[in-house]
Amino acid sequence: MARVDLTNAKRAKKDEFYTRLDDIAKELKYYKPYFRGKVVFCNCDDPYESNFFKFFALNFNSFGLKKLIVTCYNGSPIAGNELEIPFDVPDDEPKNIAYKLEITEVNDYNGDGAVNLTDVQYLIQNDKNVLSQLHGNGDFRSSECIELLKESDIVVTNPPFSLFREYVAQLVHYQKHFLIIGNTNSLACKEIFGLFQKDLIRTGHTNFNVGMYFYVPDSFEKFHHIEDGKKIARVSTSCWYTNLPVSRHNEDIILYKTYTPEEYPKYDNYDAINVDSYRNIPCDYYGIMGVPITFLDKFNPNQFELLGSTQRGCHELVPDTRKYDDYWECKPNGEKTGSSGGKTNENGNLLKNDGVHNYFENAEGRQIQSAYSRIFIRRKR
């Protein structure tokens, strides 16, 4: 396979993580009041496969939705597999279609007194609900999907991981409310971090540190367990992102530790102290601090300001003051790894060698070690 095909295949594979109904319900229960009278758009979702669609169809009335719009992408490996599609599709391309479903009324069609999963099958028999083929491929960036986005109030889905930044940029551009799943690694990337700085995005309610489980296609060899006959994989770096209110982000982190230069050393290359956990932020320090990215899950913009991160291109306000191109990397036993110290430029580096992790050394025997990815913050009050 050519290199570019391989890259595309890898990227598509990363995008094939399908969200469990339980996880959607667990997060969505906190936002019910914000959905009343609103148009919800799930724009990366095959209605007969997506649990986002199922969740909103099932809760259409209890959430008081005005309309639910779902669009499906024709590149999806499962699109068209489960649904009998009521329009002509060439025999040799049964899956190669994209369609949209617009729901404005959900009734208890089978008369069992409850709106249950079975009723979803009947939704399209209601004249007020329309299933139609899209002109294009259902790409969230296509003009017809953008028209649907403009019509909607809140976008809720798990978008393709590989297009996350572009996906969020589009939501912000069209000033839409959103509640979406993404990778925690995106937190510190320039575009997403910039939104945190402007308080245009925050993490959701679900515990940020435990990761999430997703359905994956049968073809996946690596998976965690089987649930309802389907393969489930764990993604330890998943979390919810939203611009809807999340109470935790209005609460102050309780600070109780006292600053000492020994416990909170300054970085070798930044004018900031290192704090290893948000729990250890000293209550009596008002200068710049470097904290782990998990801080963002507790971040209250009234308590702290976000100045930057150690990610390249992300710390104009806290410039690095030293480069390590004339250092070399060593294993804990002193053996050289063959890498130059340039690889730790712009990390938060500390003048130390703990004897456990790799370190960097120069010709004068100066030794430094890098902390994990850090975010620079300062107290507001």
Among 48, 52, 196, 278, binds ligand SAM (CB under 6 A): 52
List the interface residues with ligand SAM, window 131-170 (CB under 6 A).
138-140, 157-160, 163
Interaction between residue 242 and ligand SAM (CB under 6 A)? no
Interaction between residue 55 and ligand SAM (CB under 6 A)? no
Interaction between residue 292 and ligand SAM (CB under 6 A)? no
Residue nearer to ligand SAM on the CB measure, 17 or 360: 17
List the interface residues with ligand SAM, window 359-378 (CB under 6 A).
none
Interaction between residue 243 and ligand SAM (CB under 6 A)? no
- Binding part of the chain for ligand SAM, among 70-78, 186-194, 246-254, 280-288 by CB under 6 A, reads 70-78
- Binding part of the chain for ligand SAM, among 17-25, 57-65, 279-287, 364-372 by CB under 6 A, reads 17-25
Interaction between residue 76 and ligand SAM (CB under 6 A)? yes
Residue nearer to ligand SAM on the CB measure, 63 or 359: 63
Instruction: Tell me the Cα Rg of the chain.
Output: 24
- The least distance separating ligand SAM from the CB of residue 190, rounded to whole angstroms, comes to 21
Interaction between residue 75 and ligand SAM (CB under 6 A)? yes
- Binding part of the chain for ligand SAM, among 69-77, 121-129, 245-253, 333-341 by CB under 6 A, reads 69-77
Q: Which residues bind ligand SAM (CB under 6 A)?
A: 15, 17-19, 44-45, 50-52, 73, 75-76, 138-140, 157-160, 163
